[in-house]
Chains A and B, each alone.
Chain A
Amino acid sequence: NAGVMQNPRHLVRRRGQEARLRCSPMKGHSHVYWYRQLPEEGLKFMVYLQKENIIDESGMPKERFSAEFPKEGPSILRIQQVVRGDSAAYFCASSPLGGGGRAKNIQYFGAGTRLSVL
């Protein structure tokens, strides 16, 4: 059972370009979460999605950032017109569909995408 897959592992963009980060959840998981870790700082929750729905985007910056989790394919975190302050590690996590059991709310993380903005 493959874990959470994120790609690319490293992404370099120039200021003003777009960054697209992809996340494939673990098999059987329908909840996806995105987190950002700025250099020398802690992990911050950004957005929580289920298939085709954004459940909680309270941690997302109001502009330039968007996320989707389509019916088919990976979840995408999109950053438009990147700035140097967007340079960070972006982690995706997934958790199982609800239905009870102790494993319900355990989040399993991918290895992250390190975005560098030049």
Chain B
Amino acid sequence: DAKTTQPPSMDCAEGRAANLPCNHSTISGNEYVYWYRQIHSQGPQYIIHGLKNNETNEMASLIITEDRKSSTLILPHATLRDTAVYYCIVRVGSGGGADGLTFGKGTHLIIQP
């Protein structure tokens, strides 16, 4: 799986959009970008994933650059409950590679009231 780089921590004001960047310059053509988060003391939670097109669901939006070397997770209206460690993971998606996830250090997002 390709390596990812994320800032160790970020702050965001409650109600604002939180934009979490991730660099994955060695991503391969068949690798997807997955985002998970872990709220303190809980199990990781799947957020969203994508290959090359931008994706949106009820939780977040994922913007992937055209060269696929980086992406941004957007939480449109952050709340205090969004305070968590966010992990960007690159791995082979549908069609193969159902192996374990490699979690890096992630970004500790702190939502300020």
Q: What is A's interface to B at a CB cutoff of 8 Å?
A: 4, 31, 33, 35, 42-48, 55-56, 58-59, 89, 91, 93, 95, 98, 100-102, 104-112
Counting residue pairs across A and B whose Cβ atoms lie within 8 Å, the total is: 70
Q: What is B's interface to A at a CB cutoff of 8 Å?
A: 32, 34, 38, 41-46, 49, 91-95, 97-106
Is the Cβ of A45 less than 8 Å from the Cβ of B95?
no
Which of A33, A58, A89, A107 is most buried by chain B, counting CB atoms within 10 A of its CB?
A: A107
Is the Cβ of A109 less than 8 Å from the Cβ of B43?
yes
Main secondary structure of the interface of B (DSSP, over half): loop
A52–B44 Cα gap in the complex (Å)?
Answer: 25
A-B contact pairs, 29 of them (CB 8 A): A31-B98, A35-B100, A35-B103, A43-B101, A45-B101, A45-B102, A46-B100, A47-B100, A48-B99, A56-B100, A58-B100, A91-B44, A93-B43, A93-B44, A95-B98, A100-B95, A101-B94, A104-B98, A105-B32, A105-B92, A105-B94, A105-B97, A106-B34, A107-B46, A108-B46, A109-B44, A111-B42, A111-B43, A112-B42
